[in-house]
Amino acid sequence: MLLRIYRLLVVCLLSQVFAGAQANPHDVSSQATAIPTQIPGQDAILMGTDWYPEQWPESRWEKDLALMEAANIKVVRIAEFAWSKMEPSEGHYDFDWLDRAISLAAKHHIVSVVGTPTATPPAWLTQKYPDVLRVEENGRRVTHGNRAHGSVTSPRYRVFCRQIAEKMAVRFGHNPNVVGWQIDNEYGYALMSYDDASKRLFQEWLKAKYKTLDNLNTQWTTAYWSETYDNWSEIPIPIGGHNPGLRLDWKRFVTFEWTAYQQNQIDVIRQHSELRQFITGNFMGFFDGFDHYVITKPLTFASWDDYVGSGHVDPDRNGLTHDLTRGFKRENFWVMETQPGAVNWHSLNNFLNRGEARAMAWQAIAHGADDVNYWQWRSALNGQEQYHGTLLGPDGMPVPFYDEVNQTAHEFGKVQNAFKGTTVVSQVALLYSYDSHWAIQFQKHTELYDDVKILESYYGNLRRLSQSVDVVSAYAPLSDYKLVVAPSLNVIPEDLAKHLLEYVRHGGHLVLGPRSGMKDQFNSLLRQRQPGFLVDALGGRVEQYYALEKDKDYPLSGQWGDGKASVWGEQLKSLAPDTEVLLKYGKSNGWLDDQPAVITHTYGKGRITYIGAVLDDKLMAAAAQWMVQQSGVTPVFGPVPEGVEVSRRTGDGHDVFVVINFAQEARTVSLPRTMKLLLAGTEAQTVDLPQYGVEILEDAR
């Protein structure tokens, strides 16, 4: 019965998905009015921590909260792992302890974000109903004792998740000290259940999408290798190598199921809570298990968990991930967890340098975060994360790292008025597509091709010049950007091509990178050469692509200077007399010798440029310089020394700048005019920053 009811829900949801969004499943232009991310009556930028009162005697809570208040911590995330405490046996609930914890936090001027505990189902549930447990790819059902062991496709598990979320919402949905909700924890930590129920749901999802097997077989080209399906029940869950169309649709199905799993809880929370309470989920950066543009759409705002792991912060990679998260919904975000010095799950769990975490926290704010939370408050006495960094040790006393959090949180409080109502506004956008990422990952053609690293190489160079970059869906509105760059946009169906051409026609500059426009929405090769539907506007095409050998030279030269290609090279051809060749290959494999590697062409009021190779650092820097000059992009602040990152947040005609020194040595930054140094409490035309130094700037006028 449960499965039949669930199937009806799936069919209903699918009819909504494919009715209005068939042509453009990633449309994010028609969103409801966003609830402000700042908490009314609280600071515009907040420091928080993740607190687990259920692990400690209630007599200890007051001391914990007093230490938080002393450190200017304003937010606790609470309860996301406490299912067995809130529902100790089936149908018997105890929220009194949580109510007392939230009230006591409020006494210390700390608001609570309540997490639904569905990443950690209790033992009574998994033992009584083993069908709620995931089945792994090897066919084995997971056992109790870890986390994320529930199956998101289990109808029974969905019922229990909905029940606990509803009970929590009834109890806390009108609590004035609860400001928001986090659904589950780190979605996709263990992605899907590989059981017969999931397979049947996948088959029904495909049937709702394709309507007929003839259509599916045509779009997937199943005549290849005799893959033709005669019955929906024959279609498998793809494990390992498989038909590219099947694999891409499986990823979309996973996205659909996680979105439905999330919505199952959102519905009951919204039914019983005030609209002032936000709903978010804590995501994991470039985790690629599902399409984040789809799954974040019903959330108030996105959040992510910022961990370096081993080594030290890479400001380009960390900034890129902040901007990716901000781009999911194109609005401010939260960092729901961040590294408190060290983690426990890497091969080498070194501690961040003194001052490094402070610089990370300010970088998050600079890139559009309104809150930074540290995971976790105090070392758990047992469990799988005993060695993880904390603010308090197992003895309940502050560890040295507490002082750095204390300093940073008080700095947040000192300057928070400057950040009220502000967000990040950019002239440059990078396009990131999960369909394209998956399509490349399925068939990399060379193990060296890493589309995220290539994205990072474009990002680092463009951000140093423009000092602000958005990372958004390929389907996002583009008209406000002077420059749009798509480093690896492999999947460009006709509707997306029209969207991009509309941007160029009205004066935008679109830059495409290698492997662009090879595939359609079914992960099939387009009948046109690359970049597919954009060939005519580009005035050129890709004649052939080559995976480049590691031990050979592939020289490049032209307007951007001399350098080398690596990993991937495409032989381009001009098709219009006014198509301009910017770089050519030198002598290499014979096929590429003296052939175009980069071409550009005007179209309408704008321009399309195609970069057909992975460029070395020198050429990538020159390419970025050419792009911003050609597009009229200007820096938001002015020149800064190497290793210094400057960012702007703006709103209501007011600008605030965050300047951070990530270099190994001290730096002196010349300011474009006399400015207020909000942390130093002075006015100046220069600022001296030690390593990891930070200053917040406003115009003096």
| Distance separating alpha carbons of residues 259 and 9, to the nearest angstrom | 13
Query: Which among 80, 87, 166, 186 is annotated as catalytic?
Result: 186
Q: Is 311 exposed, middle or buried (0-12, 13-18, 19+ CB in 10 A)?
A: exposed
Please, what is the Cα angle at 581 between 577 and 587, to 5 degrees? 125
DSSP assignment of 301-329 equals S-EEEE---SS---HHHHHHHHHHHHHHH
| Distance separating alpha carbons of residues 184 and 269, to the nearest angstrom | 13
CA dihedral over 290, 293, 296, 301, signed as positive or negative:
positive
Retrieve residue 625's tokens. 């310089």
| Cβ pair 198, 206 in contact under 8 A | no
Retrieve residue 616's tokens. 């070395």
Name the nearest CA neighbour of 482 among 321, 634, 624: 634
| Distance separating alpha carbons of residues 180 and 196, to the nearest angstrom | 36
Question: In b/e form, how buried is each residue of 275-298, taking b as 16+ CB within 10 angstroms?
Answer: eebbbbbbbbbbeebbbbbbbbbb
368: left (phi over 0), alpha (psi -120 to 50) or beta: left
Name the nearest CA neighbour of 686 among 675, 701, 700, 699: 675
If residue 596 lies in a helix (H) or strand (E), which one and from where to where? Answer: strand 596-603
Residue 635 phi, psi (nearest 5): -70, 150
| Cβ pair 514, 531 in contact under 8 A | no
| Cβ pair 644, 695 in contact under 8 A | no
| Distance separating alpha carbons of residues 613 and 513, to the nearest angstrom | 7
List, as own/partner pairs, every contact residues 311-317 make where C-beta atoms lie below 8 angstroms and the sequence separation is at least 24, other chains included: 311/348, 311/350, 312/352, 312/353, 312/356, 313/352, 313/356, 313/359, 313/360, 313/363, 313/662, 315/363, 315/645, 315/660, 315/662, 316/456, 316/459, 316/460, 316/463, 317/456
Active site residue 337: yes
| Cβ pair 111, 72 in contact under 8 A | no
Query: Which among 166, 257, 331, 337 is annotated as catalytic?
Result: 337
User: In this structure, what is the dihedral angle of CA atoms 393, 109, 77, 125, given to the nearest 10 degrees?
Assistant: 100
| Distance separating alpha carbons of residues 542 and 513, to the nearest angstrom | 12
Biggest CA pair distance of the chain:
80
* One-letter identity of residue 630: Q
Please, what is the Cα angle at 580 between 576 and 586, to 5 degrees? 115
Asked if the bond preceding 531 is cis, omega within 30° of 0, the reply is yes
List, as own/partner pairs, every contact residues 581-587 make where C-beta atoms lie below 8 angstroms and the sequence separation is at least 24, other chains included: 582/558, 582/609, 582/626, 583/556, 583/557, 583/558, 583/559, 583/613, 583/619, 584/556, 584/557, 584/558, 585/554, 585/555, 585/556, 585/613, 586/554, 586/555, 586/556, 586/557, 587/555
Retrieve residue 591's tokens. 């096929």
CA dihedral over 402, 404, 409, 413, signed as positive or negative:
positive
- Counting Cα atoms < 13 Å in the Cβ hemisphere of 133 gives 20
Residue 648 phi, psi (nearest 5): -120, 135
| Cβ pair 664, 691 in contact under 8 A | yes
Active site residue 54: no
- 646: which strand partners? 659
| Distance separating alpha carbons of residues 207 and 647, to the nearest angstrom | 48
Residues catalogued as catalytic? 186, 337
